[in-house]
Amino acid sequence: MKKNKILVTGGLGFIGSHTVVELQQKGFDVVIIDDLSNTRIEVLDGITAITGVRPEFVQMDLKDKVHVASFFEQHSIDGVIHFAASKAVGESVEQPLKYYENNISTLVYLLKNMTKNKVPHLIFSSSCTVYGQADELPITENAPVKKAESPYGNTKQIGEEIIQDVTKVFDLNAIALRYFNPIGAHESVEIGELPLGVPQNLIPYVTQTAAGIREELSVFGHDYPTPDGTAVRDYIHVVDLAKAHIIALQRLLEGKNKSKMEYFNLGTGTGSSVLDVINAFKKANQMDVNYKIVARREGDITSAYADTKLANEELGWKANLGLEEALSSAWQWQLKQK
Ligand code: UFG
């Protein structure tokens, strides 16, 4: 039987690389497009070490219309998992046009080529950021999409809308996966998160502080209306998250989707505060993390965690790995970095 060939854009990034591993382990043929703007080529070796298969890799910027068009003419693709995007919230405020060009223009070209070449399935990397500070917790997929706090968040909202419009008139089925906070690394420690420069996200900052690369973690805000005053998020192991992509893709390939565009929250359903994360890190790794409490970070919401019912019931997916397992893998990955 012919294997399905899946294009993974941004397949050498954090979530992309873990998803490529899961795809190959399920027997899919994978071709990766990545421009290496926020990762390293060595990730390809990591994927190969885990799976025993070196995926086909094309270094390409999705803004390069001519090459994207010829790529689709030369490859017969059964489905696309689209990760490639810029993702730094703060940078997006400073450079909105970079974000609209990198995340929106590229999505439009991708969809043009998919529809022209009759590629019928798309999994889109979305974010719980579309909900802003939700009025009710846990957050269901029916929670209203609120005005985005940043151009980055806006690109995820607009991206979902563009895809939905396209599914209405073309033979395209899509699933938007709204991630909560992905963390951790593959258990082999061959792949993980590669933040460039000073990390903006909590977990790489924690591991770099424990490793002595950063002096002290700043805990942003101690006066939130939460049990310990620090902000609450739903931290999900990247391997659990990656597995959900394969299930969503299979749902489309088997025609089990109930509408042409579906949306699923991907989280654990459990909220953890910043102090909970620090404590879980200490427990999992027997390592202390220096920290100090500072003012809130602008744009941060108080609390977000997922209602996992729809993903559990419709996709048959749930997160299996816990916070300590994720923090243990993140630490092992940190130890491997030079
Ligand atoms: N935090 C700190 N100190 C740090 C870094 C983070 O206290 O040095 C806190 C933040 O204030 C927040 C929590 O840790 O309360 C998590 O922060 P992250 O930056 O790790 O994650 P965010 O929830 O802010 O953002 C993430 C992704 C975005 C995505 C968003 C959706 O980074 O891409 O979730 O809500 F849009």
CATH number at residue 36: 3.40.50.720
Of the given ranges (95-99, 116-120, 169-173, 192-196), which has the lowest mean pLDDT? 192-196
The domain of 17 spans 5-183+236-267
Confidence tier at 65 by pLDDT (50, 70, 90): very high
Q: Per the domain annotation, does 86 fall within a domain?
A: yes
**Residue at 194 is within a domain:** no
What is the number of structural domains in the chain?
Answer: 1
User: Is the pLDDT score of 36 beyond 90?
Assistant: yes
Nearest residue to 132 via CA among 153, 159, 106: 153
The reply to whether 78 falls in a domain is yes
List CB contacts of 312: < 8 A, sequence separation 6 or more.
318
- Going from the C-alpha of 58 to that of each of 10, 16, 190, 241, the distances in angstroms are 11, 14, 21, 24
Judge if the beta carbon of residue 317 lies within 6 A of ligand 1. no
192 in any annotated domain: no
d(CA 327, CA 332): 9
Q: Give pLDDT, residue 15.
A: 98
Percent over 90 (pLDDT), the chain? 96
CB 278 within 8 A of CB 202: no
Helices (H), 254-294: 274-285
Q: Is the CB of 205 under 6 A from ligand 1?
A: yes
Express as a percent the part of the chain with pLDDT over 70. 100
Residue 257 CA, ligand 1 centroid: distance in Å: 32
- Kindly state the average pLDDT of the residues 50-79: 98
307 domain residue, yes or no: no
What per-residue confidence (pLDDT) applies to 2?
Answer: 78
Q: Does 256 map to a domain?
A: yes
Q: Which two tokens stand for residue 103?
A: 């995340």
pLDDT above 80: residue 338: no
Predicted confidence at residue 1, as pLDDT, reads 66
Q: Which of 297, 298, 302, 303 to mutate to test the pocket of ligand 1 (most atoms within 8 A of CB)?
A: 297
The pLDDT confidence band at residue 196, using thresholds 50, 70 and 90, is: confident
Q: Is 330 in the pocket of ligand 1 (CB under 6 A)?
A: no
What span, in angstroms and rounded, lies between the C-alpha atoms of 264 and 261? Answer: 10
**Does 72 reside within a domain?**
yes
Detail the DSSP E strand segments found in 69-224: 79-82, 121-127, 173-179, 181-183, 217-220
Q: Does any domain span residue 281?
A: no
Q: What is the mean pLDDT of residues 295-318?
A: 96
pLDDT above 80: residue 3:
yes
- At residue 299, the pLDDT reads 87
Tens of pLDDT, residues 122-176: 999 999 999 999 999 999 999 999 999 899 999 999 999 999 999 999 999 999 9
Other Cβ atoms less than 10 A from the Cβ of 159: the count is: 24
Q: Which helix (H) or strand (E) holds 272?
A: strand 272-273
Task: Report whether 314 contacts 233 (CB < 8 A).
Answer: no
Query: Would the CB of 302 count as within 6 Å of ligand 1?
Result: no
Q: Is the pLDDT of residue 320 over 90?
A: yes
